[in-house]
Structures are given as C-alpha cells and as structure tokens.
C-alpha cells in the first residue's frame, strides 16, 4: 500500500515538473511587435478639414501634386510641411488668376505651398529666411519665440499661419487664409521708361526740317533756275544789239 502511494506521488511530481515550463512561458509571453503605421492620407486630412475643396481639386484633378506629396512622404526622411489655403482664400483671388496659369505654373503655385522638411509652428519662428519651397521660390517667416503666432510672406502676400490640421512627423499641414503668390509668377512688369527709338527721332527731325523751309537740295534747284533766266536775258539783249547794228 505504501509502495503504491509512493508511485502515485512520484507520478504526480513528474507531471507537475513537465507542466511547470509551459506555465512559465504562458505567464510571461514576449510582447508583440508594434504594427507598422500606414502611409499618411494627405487628401484625407484636407477633406476632414472641410474647407479645402478647391485645393483638393487643384491637387488631384488639375494636377498630380497630391500624388507627388504622398509619394515623397513615403520616401523622404525629412518630411514635408504644407500650407493649405482655404476655399475663401481662393475665392478672394482676382478673377481669372488661376485660369490664366498654364498647368505647369499651377503646379509651381501649389508646390510653392510645400516645404521639403517637417516644421513645427515654433520651429518656423527660428528658421533662416528665405526658406526654400518645393517650387524653389522662397518664403519668409516671422513670429515671436515660444509662441504659435507665425506670419508667412511671399513678398506679394502676407498672412498668418493658423490652425494645424495635422502635425506629426513626417507631415505638418497648416491652414492659411490667403493664397501665397510668388513674385516670380505674379509680379507685374514695370512700365518701360526708355526713350523713343532713334529712327523715330530721325523721322521727326526730317519732318520738322521740311516744315521750316526748303532743304539744301531745294536751294540748289532754285539757284539753277535763276542762272538759266539771266542767261536767257543776256542772249536776248545780244541779239537785239546785233540786229540794230545790221
């Protein structure tokens, strides 16, 4: 009887020893790897903002800038910063401003609103101006340190950088209430102050001379007529004298 109990006890201990490792593993499983984050939906951010329909249309229908931005977000380690004009900003543009631009210039205008680096609002205050855009034209930023009050200037347009629609590396999207117009595309040419062409002056001079009196050529012709008259008179007098003598 005692031997049977000993065998049973030994069997129970063996089973417990076999189960112990599996229980230990079950109690402390390894932490699962974090799920990789998906690509940033740039147009989705604009659409969620609710007042960027014109910008979305320009970036997706008129041009392919939205696709370019999303492709760059997936390949760039520097990130991007986008300034998004509202629908009212586009509506306040002078009539025909966008329609007068070729597709290439529309692309340049849109890329002028994109910086090839991720910037927080505070970091925009301390940047070295001008900051190069994706259109290779510069923007200037001013503001007060340790605040989120930032102004942006294109040279033709000044406005405040307002609400942050999205601010997480690799993308920052900020609302602006004016379309940033680069001087390189929209600055009117200054009127020319150059003097009239020399040919025009020459013609005016000739007409002035003609109005004042005869030219040297006209004077020569007049002198020749007078000489012919005197010659005729002399010949006539000589003929009369000869006739009298005869």
Domain borders along the chain are 42-182
Dist. CA 104–CA 67, nearest whole Å: 16
42-182 is classed in which CATH architecture? Roll (2.30)
- Pick from 128, 156, 132: which is nearest to 142 by CA? 128
Instruction: Provide the pLDDT for residue 83.
Output: 98
The sheet with strand 150-153 has its strands ordered as 114-115, 80-85, 171-176, 158-168, 150-153, 138-143, 131-132
User: In a 10 Å sphere around its CB, with 0-12 CB exposed, 13-18 middle and 19+ buried, how is residue 26 labelled?
Assistant: exposed
Which sign does the torsion angle of CA 162, 166, 167, 172 carry? negative
Q: How many angstroms separate the first and last alpha carbons of the chain?
A: 202
Could you tell me the mean pLDDT of each successive run of 10 residues in the chain, 246 residues long?
60 60 44 54 94 97 95 92 98 93 96 97 93 96 85 96 93 97 77 43 44 46 51 49 45
Instruction: Provide the pLDDT for residue 172.
Output: 97
Instruction: Provide the pLDDT for residue 226.
Output: 55
* Residue 2 CA, distance from chain mean position: 96
């Amino acid at each position: 009887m005692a031997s049977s109990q000993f065998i049973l006890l030994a069997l129970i201990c063996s089973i417990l020893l076999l189960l112990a490792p599996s229980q230990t593993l079950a109690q402390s499983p390894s932490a699962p790897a974090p799920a990789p984050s998906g690509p940033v939906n740039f147009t989705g951010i604009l659409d969620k903002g609710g007042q960027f329909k014109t910008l979305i249309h320009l970036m997706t229908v008129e041009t392919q800038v939205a696709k370019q931005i999303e492709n760059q977000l997936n390949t760039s380690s520097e990130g991007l910063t986008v300034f998004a004009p509202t629908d009212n900003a586009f509506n306040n543009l002078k009539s025909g401003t966008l329609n007068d631009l070729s597709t290439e210039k529309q692309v340049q205008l849109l890329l002028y609103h994109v910086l090839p680096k991720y910037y927080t609002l505070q970091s925009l205050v301390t940047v070295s101006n001008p900051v190069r855009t994706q259109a290779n034209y510069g923007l200037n930023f001013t503001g007060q340190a340790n605040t989120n009050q930032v102004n942006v200037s294109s040279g033709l347009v000044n406005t405040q950088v307002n609400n942050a629609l999205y601010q997480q590396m690799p993308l920052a999207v900020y609302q602006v209430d004016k379309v940033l117009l680069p001087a390189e595309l929209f600055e009117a040419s200054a009127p020319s102050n150059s003097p009239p062409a020399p040919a025009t002056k020459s013609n005016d001079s000739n007409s002035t001379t003609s109005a004042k009196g005869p030219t040297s050529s006209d004077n020569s012709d007049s002198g020749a007529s007078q000489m012919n008259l005197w010659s005729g008179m002399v010949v006539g007098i000589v003929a009369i004298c000869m006739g009298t003598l005869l």
